[in-house]
Structure 1
């Protein structure tokens, strides 16, 4: 699906406020409600809009430790990669996991309540995955930039 400037406006507005009514959204992007709703439905059906979520304050829930974990496997064949990916997908502490180039095979962003909770995650879960040969962790001191909105204007 090709998106135009109006679709980009719709995406930007929905990323800023996913609870906006269709009537309000239509006014913000310069459409009447029916064509606006039709465009939103098309963006949903095309998979460009994947879902609607609430952004939750991690610190308010006691999740004060954010760690970036680089993982190296002892084998990079499909079997090892699939086993690792299936295992980390089941860990709720893993917020993001990327297959990487370079010295590490994967980079994870992990959120936990404390350093003790991180140690438990590392020792009892992550390093128990078959094929994990090296783990290196770095801890975030504070976020400098944190965005959830995709830069739709840069997608041209």
Structure 2
């Protein structure tokens, strides 16, 4: 009799029912799905940031190489300007000019454009006027990669002024 009463007294609170287990599993599944989503989003953001850093380094590298070429000879500024827009002009080690630059398995495309900044016809140097008779070469480097999505390309610019003894005519 005693065992029957003891069993009956704790019978309703003695363990989990099937409904309680199902509800607990649904809550656990929802939480696990949210956590996995957050982890995947963080990983995607990390990959995107890594690609932007690599692209920024490639753009800075291209600007530095253009500066070196620009100062190498007296005719280099004109040669760079006449080249206009070029794609992947300076390959990485083991690469070929014109082919994508591969960094950590990602192919980057570096597009460099160079054009003379036109001297103006204003009345003062502040307006780019006739007092500014010597042109500068504007260089723009843009780096893109596959799977960018909504990420903007990395763009760097530089204005390079040739030595006044090179004999480059004004571009007005």
Report the TM-score when normalising by structure 2: 0.22
Higher relative contact order (CA 8 A, sep 6+): 1
User: TM-score when scaled to structure 1?
Assistant: 0.24
